[in-house]
Amino acid sequence: MTDTGLEDILAPGLSVVFCGINPGLTAAAQGHHFAGRGNRFWRTLHQAGFTRDEIPPERDRSILEYGYGLTAVIQRPTARADQLSAQEFTAAAADFEQKIVRYAPRWVAFLGKAAYAALSGQKDLAWGPQQRLFGSARVWVLPNPSGRNRAFTLEQLVAAYGRLRLAVETGGTGPLNAPITATSATCLPPASARYRAGTPRSGDVR
C-alpha cells in the first residue's frame, strides 16, 4: 500500500481494467482492493464468469492471471465517495488518462457513473458501453458493487458485469444494450463450468 491509497494492479495489454472512484478506508488499511466487509466486487466478478474461483481480497493480485487489472481515479481513501471534491477529479484527470494510455487495456470499466461522469464531463450516462474512447481503451460503465449501493441486488450486478464479460469474449459483439435485469443473469454459464470445459480466460475501489 502507498501512503495515499492502494497500489495499482496493472500490466500492459490487459483485457479489462476495473476502475473504482477511490479506495475505501478498510481497503486502504488492509492494502487490498475491495476489502470492505460489504463489498460485492469479488463475488460478482466470479459469478459473472470472469474468474474460476472467488478471489479473496488478500489475493487481489491474482486477478492479473485472468487478464484483468485494478486501479482508481483518486488515490485518497475516504469512508464514502461523496467525500471527494470536484477539484480532486480535475487534478487527477490527466495523470489517470496517461496511465490508461501507457498500459493500453482493451476496456476500462468504471465502477459507478460518478468517476466517468467527472472525467468525461457527461452528466447523462447509460450503463454499459460508451461511445467515446478513454485514452486508447473502450469504456464500459458498471454499477458500483459497494454494499452501500442498495439500488442493485447481487443478481443484478452479476447480470450487468456478465454483459461486459460477453463483450470481452466476443470482441465487443453481442447484445451490449440489453437491459440490466436480475433474470438476465441466468443466461451466463457458471465460471466453474466454463473453465472445466476449457473455455479460454479473457480478460469504486471500496
Residue with cell 495515499: 4
**How far apart are alpha carbons 95 and 175 in whole angstroms?**
33
**What region does 16 belong to: left with phi over 0, alpha with psi -120 to 50, or beta?**
beta
Q: Pick out the chain residues at pLDDT < 70.
A: 1-4, 172-206
User: Containing domain of residue 152, as a range?
Assistant: 16-196
User: Domain of 136: which CATH number?
Assistant: 3.40.470.10
Say if 205 falls within a structural domain. Answer: no
Say if 7 falls within a structural domain. Answer: no
Say if 202 falls within a structural domain. Answer: no
Find out whether 19 and 108 touch, Cβ atoms under 8 Å: yes
Going by the DSSP 8-state scheme, the letter that residue 170 receives in this structure is T
Say if 47 falls within a structural domain. Answer: yes
Say if 4 falls within a structural domain. Answer: no
Say if 56 falls within a structural domain. Answer: yes
Domains held by the chain: number: 1
Say if 185 falls within a structural domain. Answer: yes
**How far apart are alpha carbons 172 and 131 in whole angstroms?**
12
Say if 186 falls within a structural domain. Answer: yes
